Amino acid sequence: MSSLIMNEYNQFTMSLNSENKIAIEKTPLIMTEQAKNHLWKYNEDKILKEVENYVTGTYHGHYCGDQDGYADIQTIDLMAAKKLATGFCQANILKYGSRYGDKDGRNKRDLLKVIHYAMLLLHFDGHYSRKDNGLSEFR
C-alpha cells in the first residue's frame, strides 16, 4: 500500500517497508516552462522575469557610486545607515503607485519601481536580512 501527497515543491510517497514501518520518500518536483505557464494564468512568469531584469539594471544605475571602492554603494545603503530605509521604501511605493496613470500615462516602469521598493522594504524590514545589508558580499 502506498499513498501520494504533493505540494507545490515536492511529491511525498508513503508506503510500508519490509519491517511494517512507514517509509516516506520525498521527490522534488521539477517544473517545466510549459507547466509553469499553465499554472500562471496572468503572465506572472513574464512579469517576474521583467522585474528581475529591471532590478539587475539598478545595480549599475545612476544612483550608484562611481569611484573605486564605492561602485557597489547605492543611495538606499546610505538611507539604511541612518535607519531611514523602511520609510524611504514606503514613501517611494506610495509615490510611484499614486503617479501610475497620471505621469507618462500607464507607465509600466512606475509599477516596476513599486515592486522593487516593496522587495527592498521586505529586506530592510527584516523579512529577508543579510549581514551588513549585504555590502560585504558584493565587494
* pTM (2 d.p.): 0.67
Q: SS3 for 6? A: strand
Residue 43 cell numbers, joined:
503572465
Contact between 100 and 107 under an 8 Å Cβ cutoff? The reply is yes
Q: Note the residue count of the chain.
A: 139
pLDDT digits (tens, 9 = 90+) for 13-52: 878 888 888 888 888 777 666 666 567 789 998 999 999 9
Domain boundaries, the chain: 1-30, 41-138
Q: How confident is the model at residue 5 (pLDDT cuts 50, 70, 90)?
A: low
- Total Cβ atoms within 10 A of residue 89: 23
pLDDT score recorded for residue 3:
61
pLDDT digits (tens, 9 = 90+) for 64-118: 777 777 777 888 889 999 999 999 999 999 999 999 989 888 999 999 999 999 9
DSSP 132: G
Rounded to 5 degrees, φ, ψ at 106 are -85, 70
